[in-house]
Structure 1
Amino acid sequence: MPLTKPNQELKRDLKEAAALLKWSGVDLFTISKRLLDAGDEIGAAELMKIALSYQAIEDKLVSYADEVKSGRVKRNAEQSG
């Protein structure tokens, strides 16, 4: 059964947010490596912690998008906008 337009939008928005978190995490990881190379172990560790938390949230958003696709989660038409 095809997704309704609001559910298509929800799925797309969740996937976009997950992708943004993924690439932000990659950027933070790269910066943390630079900090580590510069001798800032504390700053590097803090950024790595943030990057890993982004990865966990990204995984959740992808899971939610899959639930929308399967029909387990639906967006009401009045919620879209």
Structure 2
Amino acid sequence: MELSKPRQGLKRDLQGIASDLKWSAVELTRIAERLSSAGNDSDAQAIYRMITVFQSDETRLQSHAAEIARAPT
């Protein structure tokens, strides 16, 4: 099934934002590891909580993008 141009754009945008969140989580993990190694565990834990939110949001956006592809036009 061919998606309309607006749906293609929306799907691409959702996937792009999800990808950005994934990349951000990877970078934040590196920062949190450095903070933890430097003895700043409280800030590292705060960043780990942010990472959890980013990963959850990434999953939701990917799910929404997949739903757009499945939904009838």
TM-score (norm 2): 0.96
Q: Write the mapping of 1:1-81 to structure 2, written as runs, cut at 5 A.
A: 1-71=1-71
- RMSD, matched Cα: 1.1
Distance in 2, Cα, partners of 1:38 & 1:15: 35
- Name 1:79's counterpart in structure 2: none
Distance in 1, Cα, partners of 2:69 & 2:13: 12
Structure 1 stretches of 5 or more lacking a match?
Answer: 75-81
TM-score (norm 1): 0.87
Corresponding pairs, count:
73
Percent identity, aligned pairs only, is 40
Q: Which has the higher helix share?
A: 2
Distance in 2, Cα, partners of 1:62 & 1:47: 22
